[in-house]
Structure 1
Amino acid sequence: MAVTATHTEVSRHDKKKTSKLKKPIAAPFILIVPAIILYAIFFIWPAAIGLYYSFTNYKGLPKYKMVGLENFVELFQDQAFWSALLRTFEYIICSVPLNVCLSLLAAVLVTNRRAIGSSIAKVLFFLPWLVSPIITGLIWRWMFGEGFGIVNSVIESLGGQPLHWATNANLSFLVLVLAGVWAGMAFNMLLFITALKNVPESLYEAASLDGANAWQKFRAITLPGIAPTTFMVVLLGTINGIKEFAMVQALNEGGPGKSNRLVVQYIYETGFSNSRIGYASAASMVLLVILVIVSLIQMWFNKRNEGK
């Protein structure tokens, strides 16, 4: 009888243990279910619809038909698409390095022990991040307006000739790059501030004992120490540059003409202005593949550098 009672108690103890082990597994799953549902509704389902429409001639009307790969064949032969894609990569090549350098410079300045008013500087640097992309575009459009812009007013007051910021393709592109850097610098600065604070202070002290100057410390200690953050900033900047739309639309609408039209603007105009939703969906799928390839390449370079 004693053995049976002991066996029963052990069985109950095992059941309690099993139930305790099951609870931590079930609870996190229940918590992530809403996130999974939202992700499926707002990301997976639209992507699936876009992929389906990319094989059709859908124009927003109930009647449409499957066209197979015709949209993709036409897209790869469309000079306007390649022109928009090329301008997008030019925008990334110009804006991302400049954004990284200025963000890092701002982070170094506000984290310097000798800096005065660093708290106020952080707030001022962060203000552009609080402004929506559309408002950013309007602000810079007002600043660089040819007939009413404050920049041309300053140039004229100094005795110079006003510049054609809106009608010259290269000048308009320059304004676009500067506006993009100004808008994205704040968030990247915060990432760099966190990374700089995580670099061990002992390394700088050891370097000082060895007689290293400020530049040598920055090159040999700071840059390697913040390399993962730098990679993340470059990756996010590249992806955001490829997806840039609202700011460009508000700033110059891809002008003058179509000279500064980026790829997302091309997709928007094709799908909504020209009512070729199937064709625009095909362009979106190509853009998705490009984003994945760019991300994989950058991750491969990052892993390669970490392995050295």
Structure 2
Amino acid sequence: MPLFRRSKSTRRSRSAPADARRAPHPAAAGAAFSRLASVRTLALSAAWILAIGGAVLGASIGVPALAARADRARPEGTIRVHFPGAPNWMTPQDLAPLEETVRDQLTGSPFDQEGLRVAADGLRASGWFAAIEQVERTTLDSIEVRAVWVEPTALVRDPDGDHLIDAEGRLLPRSYRAGAAPAFPRIDGASAARPAAPGMRYKGGDVDAALAVIAAIADRPWSTQVAAIDVSRYRRDGVLSLRTGRDTVIHWGRAPGEPTAAEVPTRQKLSYLQFLYDHYGRIDAVGEGTLDVTGDFVGSRS
């Protein structure tokens, strides 16, 4: 018979502490999970900070580097300036100063927007444009100008030559020796001096009166037979005369838009000249001398 007997309850009491070590307390597990979540949050925050900082640093380094590389890549030769839609009457000699106006304002950098803006202002001041729509760099060595051009309408003759103007009486930056200009109607005898700069209008009213006649006859097939409009009597008497290529003088009278009971209306004057053209092929078919179209009957005298 054994001297000692091991109690079953004793075995159970000794095994209890081991079970307790294998199953941690719920409060301790929650604290550990919270610490782990905090560590993950800090890690993610640090990653975002590093990513944003890297992007900012890359931009601060990369953009100037790109700009510097673009500056180094700019062409060494002359920048080409294009005017799409330029009218046929603009010669290469006329376009050359406009091209230089653009080039003079450019630094060569493709990022130079200020130079393009100043170039547009210079083109506006040239007198050739009714509006500048856009000046843009299309390639490193090419500039394109989109604009609305003025429409040359007549020449004003003075002792210095023939000076081109538009339909509003604004001086254009083109003058010719007397008789060397293209075939535009000429205005003789203007009372006011030539404007000081392109884009400025002739004063005095007589040039405007001549332009009104030019507009009235513009769509007539015989308009090219009118070589000049004499406004020398306009300030004193308010009347105009037309001179044909054969030196026939047509007493026109008052300008369109300035009616008087002493004259037939503009449409009647046009009808008289149209009759001559339809029947004889020329409005000066009467030959040299003077033709008066201001009354109810057309009269001529040598």
TM-score using structure 1 length: 0.21
Higher helix share: 1
Larger radius of gyration: 2
Higher strand share: 2
